[in-house]
Amino acid sequence: MYQNTVAYFADGSVMVIKSGYDIFFYPFGKDFDKDEFFSVSDEGAISRPGAGTKFFAFSFRPNMNNNVSTPYKGKGIEPYRSLICKTETAEGGTKQTVCNSLSRDELLNNSSYGCNKTSPYKAYCTALIQENGWKIPDDYPFKF
């Protein structure tokens, strides 16, 4: 479905680069199985079942200029996260897009990307760990 590049490292880890900017890092390359990288349900819903446990999501978008890429602007590889953007109408009828960083609660509970057992993508698990000083938080929803 996507153009993926897979890099195998001497330490046994694996990195999958999707579309040139989304990065999935497997600390233990033995956990990577290209046929299980994502799954599709009978209804056609895509999920990434190993996210937050077998692999962790990052992104590299230092020069992208859309609103949701702001957390990556001018930076290197960063944990996957986006901004919550919505259009608001200011006084006088002027519309403007306002973007806010994700709260810890949103990193955990977002229905699509949150670090929780029901989210299909679990992409925010990496950002949750980063916000805890690169240590897995006590309330992390997955056990190793």
Residue 56 lies in a domain: yes
Residue 138 lies in a domain: no
CA dist 66 and 86 (Å) reads 13
Nearest C-alpha neighbor of 120 from the set 51, 53, 68? 51
CA dist 86 and 96 (Å) reads 8
* pTM metric for this prediction: 0.81
CA dist 97 and 92 (Å) reads 15
Q: Domain count of the chain?
A: 1
Residue 64 lies in a domain: yes
For 81-115, write each residue's pLDDT tens digit: 876 777 888 788 888 777 777 889 999 999 989 99
- What sign does the CA torsion over 19, 74, 64, 81 have? positive
Residue 88 lies in a domain: yes
Residue 127 lies in a domain: yes
Residue 140 lies in a domain: no
* pLDDT band per the 50, 70, 90 thresholds, residue 2: low
- If you average pLDDT over residues 10-18, what whole number do you get? 94
Range of the domain at 116: 4-131
In this predicted structure, the answer to whether residue 144 has a pLDDT above a threshold of 90 is no
What amino acid is encoded at 43 in this protein? E
Residue 119 lies in a domain: yes
Residue 143 lies in a domain: no
For 23-33, write each residue's pLDDT tens digit: 999 999 999 98
